Amino acid sequence: MTVLKRSRLFEQIAEIIEQRIRNQQSAPGDELPSERDLMKEFGVGRTAVREALFHLQRMGLVELRPGARARVATPTPAAVMSSLAGSARYLLSAPEGIRHFQEARILFETGLVRDAARLATEQDIARLAAALKANGDAIGDMRSFERTDIDFHYVIATIPKNPIYPALHSAILEWLVDQRHVTLSFPGQNRIAYDAHRSIFEAIRTHDADAAARCMREHLDQVIGLYWQVRTGKT
């Protein structure tokens, strides 16, 4: 029997199971031992075992289904970002929290668009052109414009072919959802955002990384500036 410390048993159980998964003692798709077997192995009650499994599920390491044993899952970038949501909301609520995330987004997206400008294929440019057209067609329709705004930036995130980039991009935009709602509902902002997207697109289309980064920086600076103007009533 594995001997555990008395405090926070579920975390210790989860850590041991996680280590087994990392050591490939259990591969993706494999069933874990039953709850009863885990209870026996660790000398704990059902509650501690279930809390450990739920913890591993939130980490994206385990898949849970009613009436079946837990299975080892393959972690995805999206699952990793999702597991950070609670911490992100806490940081956003702290003094200067929103500004810190806004600064992080600028750093991330200006670097991202540089890679996109360097690496974009003709197929990538065609996808981005379609996203830009949809964004332009949605001007004046708040819900559609917001969706196509997200889609345009998402296509850029996919161009470098790094699966972490789209997941991180989606997470940051979700964490800054209030900013998007506030700014895109401001009169005239749809057209301003679309024109910025068009400039970014042209820089990517011509593979001008410096121009792409500059246009993205100007775009995000304008959005952030407008957000704080609205929030402080200084518009």
Q: Could you give the CA distance from residue 202 to residue 208 in angstroms, rounded to a whole number?
A: 9
Asked if 133 contacts 126 with a C-beta cutoff of 8 angstroms, the reply is no
Res. 183 pLDDT band, cuts 50 70 90 = very high
Q: Is the pLDDT of residue 1 over 70?
A: no
- pLDDT for residue 19 is more than 60: yes
Rounded to whole angstroms, the Cα distance separating 185 from 115 reads 30
Tens digit of each residue's pLDDT (9 = 90 or more) over 97-111: 889 989 999 999 999
Do residues 153 and 172 touch, judged by C-beta distance below 8 A? no
Query: Which range has highest mean pLDDT (38-47, 78-87, 161-170, 201-210)?
Result: 201-210
Q: Radius of gyration of the chain from Cα atoms?
A: 23
**Is 148's pLDDT higher than 80?**
yes
Rounded Cα distance between 108 and 102, Å, is 10
Domains identified in the chain and CATH numbers: 9-75 (1.10.10.10), 81-232 (1.20.120.530)
Instruction: Indicate the range of 20-24, 62-66, 91-95 predicted with least confidence.
Output: 91-95
Q: Is residue 57 over pLDDT 80? A: yes
Confidence of residue 79 (pLDDT cuts 50, 70, 90): low
pLDDT of residue 3: 58
- The pLDDT of 192-210, averaged and rounded, is 98
Answer yes or no: is pLDDT of 194 > 60.
yes
Average of per-residue pLDDT across 73-101: 72
Sign of CA dihedral 59, 60, 63, 64: positive
Which H/E stretch holds residue 71? strand 71-72
pLDDT at 184 over 60: yes
